[in-house]
Amino acid sequence: MSKVSTKIPLINNSLEFSTQFSFDNTNIESFESSVENYLGDHSFFTALNSGTSAIHLALILLGVKANDEVICQSFTFAASAYPILYQKAIPVFVGSELETWNMCPELLREAITHRIQHHKKPKAIIVVHTYGMPAKMKEIMAISQEFEIPVLEDAAGAFGAIYDGKKCGTIGDFGVFSFNNNKIITTYGGGGLVCRKKYKKNRALFYATQAKEKESYYEHSKIGYNYRMSPVAAAIGQQELNNLEKKIREKKKINTYYSELFDAVDGVELQKASGNEFQSNFWLSSLVVHQDKCGFSNTVLKNHLSKYNIASRYLWKPLHVQTIFKKCLYFGNKIAEELFKKGISLPSGAIQKNELERISTSIQKLL
């Protein structure tokens, strides 16, 4: 049942399909091969209905079960960690470093060492390339190899970002993308999972399509999910993929514009990593505002912009201080909390030059 092609006699399709369209996986499979071509060697991509379901499937494929511990970056969107709870496993949060705002390798080592001493070796590490900025993957992968703990890259917002010549999402054992409406490329709700091996992709597909065993009747021995991408979404994804490089160029221009705007302002810092290995996709231009240096806070900036009808947003509130996760362990310093207290994301979508100038003029008034 997984593939009904047009070669099958019409009488079969008339069994259950009540529209003129028969269900056909062609769109989904061609979107998947386009993504695989884009990502490069040894990337097996499964198109799914969201980034969150991709994280969930990755945890299932990693064998995460009830009471297992899973390490997760604290400075991220809640959907990075929700699937740990779906598996009744236990999140252990790790703090950020100041350069990329992502998982700090030293704190990761501290967390792993502590949990191993307590006979709770973590089952997996979820690292996030937040706002499209790659995490320090060289250090993180070295720790993963040293302790033999697999890495799941939450590249939900980082499609097209590159770390040291490799596409984000293809460095760890699994990679996750989101094609939600607000992400750099969208299928109006969608996502996907990158596996390093073909057989793992086949397992992901099995779980994503209700875990039907290979029998002529309905046979189920595992819990299945309805996580497959729709063919309509895949067709949109195909078009979006063709625009990716253009979108990254546009977003980079927006980021450069902000960076020049704030260059001379003491105490306003954009998210920026200094090494050549970090190539963000500039999904969301974000900055921190140090009131003691520049004289205004992120909230003042936010309210000021909203007076001019310009949207902005606070950065992630770290997960270890969220009510739902507050009993979880946290290995970190205050950096993640400072980012939340002082940070703000500026308009980074499809904005025209004159709109950027309008944003600039209104910010100048505050400065």
Ligand X SMILES: *Cc1c(COP(=O)(O)O)cnc(C)c1O
Neighbours of 323 (CB within 10 A): 6
By the rule CB under 6 A, 191 interacts with ligand X: yes
Beta-carbon contacts of residue 214 (< 8 Å; ≥ 6 apart): none
Task: Give the one residue of 31, 44, 77, 262 binding ligand X; rule: CB under 6 A.
Answer: 77
By the rule CB under 6 A, 50 interacts with ligand X: yes
Task: Give the one residue of 59, 72, 79, 193 binding ligand X; rule: CB under 6 A.
Answer: 79
Query: Hey, which residues between 102 and 121 contact ligand X (CB under 6 A)?
Result: none
By the rule CB under 6 A, 156 interacts with ligand X: yes
130 near 102, Cβ under 8 Å? yes
By the rule CB under 6 A, 281 interacts with ligand X: no
SS3 of the chain: helix, strand, coil, percent, to 5: 40, 15, 45
By the rule CB under 6 A, 255 interacts with ligand X: no
Best CA proximity match to 275, nearest among 144, 138, 140: 138
Closer of 51 and 347 to ligand X (Cβ): 51
Task: Give the one residue of 180, 279, 285, 345 binding ligand X; rule: CB under 6 A.
Answer: 180
Best CA proximity match to 329, nearest among 84, 54, 155, 55: 84
By the rule CB under 6 A, 194 interacts with ligand X: no
Closest contact distance (angstroms) between CB of 318 and ligand X is 13
Buried b (16+ CB within 10 A) or exposed e, 343-352: bbbbbbeebe
Closest contact distance (angstroms) between CB of 49 and ligand X is 8
By the rule CB under 6 A, 100 interacts with ligand X: no
Strand-pair partners of 94: 73, 331
By the rule CB under 6 A, 348 interacts with ligand X: no
Cα separation, 346 vs 243, whole angstroms? 22
Cα separation, 352 vs 153, whole angstroms? 32
Query: Hey, which residues between 125 and 144 contact ligand X (CB under 6 A)?
Result: 128
Contact stretch for ligand X (CB under 6 A) within 7-15, 59-67, 154-162, 357-365: 154-162
Closest contact distance (angstroms) between CB of 196 and ligand X is 20
By the rule CB under 6 A, 178 interacts with ligand X: yes
The DSSP element (H or E) to which 191 belongs, if any, is strand 191-195
> Which residues are at the interface with ligand X (CB under 6 A)?
50-52, 76-77, 79-80, 128, 154, 156-157, 178, 180, 191
